[in-house]
Amino acid sequence: PLTHEITFNVGRKVLDPDGFFRRVWTVNGQFPGQEIHAFQNDRLKVHVINNLGDEATAFHWHGIFQTGTPWYDGVPGGTQCPIPAGEEFTYDFQLLQSGTYWWHSHYFAQYVDGLAGPLIIDDPQDPYFQAYDEEFIVTLHDWYHTESSELIKNLMKPLQAGYAEPVPDSGLINGRNNYNCKLAPVGTKCIPNNSLSTFVFQQGKRYRIRIINMSADDSFDFSIDEHLLEVMEVDGVLTKSKQVTTLSIDAGQRYSVIVKADQIIKNFWMRAEMGIDSTDKGVNPHIRAIVHYEGASFDKPTTQDWVNKTDLDPMTLQPYFSDPVPSPVGTQFILTIDIRLDANNYTKGFVNNSTFKLDLDNPSLDRAIRNLSIDGPNANVYTFDKPGEVVQVILQNVHDEDHPFHMHGHHFWILGTGEGLFDKNNATLNLIDPIKRDTQDVPAKGWLVIRFVADNPGVWTFHCHLEWHLEEGLSLQFLELPTILKTFKQPETVTSLCKSNSNSTNAPT
């Protein structure tokens, strides 16, 4: 196994991903963030240098279990103190999994300002290796022309005082789009007809396309005109292959598809249709990129969207390697999730009637290791302490919006999902061959049942991956195997972060 030593120089730069110029938060001056590509069992050392000047940061490795290294999970107040402006910190862990992952800041909504990138881990034994010739990464973003700290200000206002959930201005494929600059406010800079992302295909070749939704809020319907998508991986888990024309991908989720360049030599549209909210304020939800066959002209594609669509139903996907559902259930949690007004007219997220909030400078994990309680009024702690026991979680969404929930530290088996109130006598659960993933939607006014095994000591957040809902407190933490956790020893570099001057760890203002 190799050790990959990477430096993340975190700063800001004025960029125009969609033609509109704004400050973008960057790693090594780049947006979208650089791809990290490694083999399974390699070691990753990321040396973060916080050059933001006035803001702290912390990086999460979305989908990585951090077994034995829970302090590198990157959650400020959860697993570490934030990295103050002007300071450095090194993440150092082994990549025991394989598949498509991503990294992003977990400090407030910093990733929405640009701090996110792909993390790809290859398994030399991947049974699909022979099934494709080359690969591409497709990152999807909803994109805001206003900095996230401004957006959060309106999110944190009481209803009558100007509360507003952020609405994206556009969307990006691999960091590019064409904004209608006529809509840009006076005094701003915008250049129309920015170039779109282009993927070059060679006729006859097969491509693995890894799609990562890095959005703050939006889901996307992804397709390529006249090209079938053969789904073979979700969130790092290989599936039996399944052919579709379109797939819907929620914030935080990933898919790999194999696409054959089996059409005539010309240009084709790649489409990412933004879901929900975006249309109502004149935002163009039709995000495009170009698939250019080598040898074709550079004219704009004239291809049409699929007429007869076969949309992926992710619940019908089957794991490539059989991975039986663990039972019997040892501990069960029933979680009622909601977004509603609190007593003071603030819009808040609730898990079993409690809004989540972390103390940034007093991380839960540090307290758990030191045998101190991590419980408190907004701590939303759910504890299980028997190694190997099966944990079942029933999520009941009483809110009228979807909530894609992401679990840190685990993949979970998805047993079932449905509309209305969960009723164990009438619910259909797949106990035979469900897939596992790390991010799954809890449907509006509906339910989701998942299972996982208590085998990863740590403090793991489980939250709605819609960033605005996370800011509103739609989250909880699992305290997993605290008895074993007490025997863990954190590296000096992690504990010393909490001792550094904490006045730069304040919320962005």
* Interface with ligand C2O (CB under 6 A): 60, 62, 104, 106, 252, 406, 408, 461, 463, 465
Nearer to ligand C2O, 116 or 368 (CB): 116
Which residue is it, tokens 């022979």? 130
- Least distance between ligand C2O and beta carbon 461 (Å): 6
Residue nearest to ligand C2O (CB): 62
- Least distance between ligand C2O and beta carbon 111 (Å): 8
Strand, helix or coil for residue 18: coil
Which residue is it, tokens 């129309």? 192
Q: Which residues, 6 or more positions from 294, have their beta carbon under 8 angstroms from its beta carbon? A: 200, 201, 202, 203, 265
- Least distance between ligand C2O and beta carbon 479 (Å): 16
Bridge partners (DSSP) listed for residue 211? 138, 255
Nearer to ligand C2O, 406 or 411 (CB): 406
Nearer to ligand C2O, 220 or 269 (CB): 220
- Least distance between ligand C2O and beta carbon 458 (Å): 13
Q: Which residues, 6 or more positions from 329, have their beta carbon under 8 angstroms from its beta carbon? A: 390, 391, 392, 451
Nearer to ligand C2O, 174 or 461 (CB): 461
CA triple 211-214-220, angle to 5 deg: 60
CA distance 460 to 477: 5
- Least distance between ligand C2O and beta carbon 485 (Å): 19
Token pair for 163 = 């509360």
Nearer to ligand C2O, 62 or 208 (CB): 62
Helices (H), 95-230: 148-155
Bridge partners (DSSP) listed for residue 324? none
- Least distance between ligand C2O and beta carbon 62 (Å): 4
Strand, helix or coil for residue 155: helix
Strand, helix or coil for residue 107: coil
- Least distance between ligand C2O and beta carbon 151 (Å): 18
Bridge partners (DSSP) listed for residue 383? 479
- Least distance between ligand C2O and beta carbon 335 (Å): 16
CB 285 within 8 A of CB 319: no
- Least distance between ligand C2O and beta carbon 137 (Å): 17
Helix (H) or strand (E) holding 2: none
Nearer to ligand C2O, 199 or 460 (CB): 460
Nearer to ligand C2O, 62 or 141 (CB): 62
CB 222 within 8 A of CB 138: yes
Helices (H), 316-401: 364-369
Nearer to ligand C2O, 22 or 62 (CB): 62
Helix (H) or strand (E) holding 259: strand 254-260
Nearer to ligand C2O, 64 or 229 (CB): 64
CA distance 465 to 474: 9
CA distance 26 to 11: 5
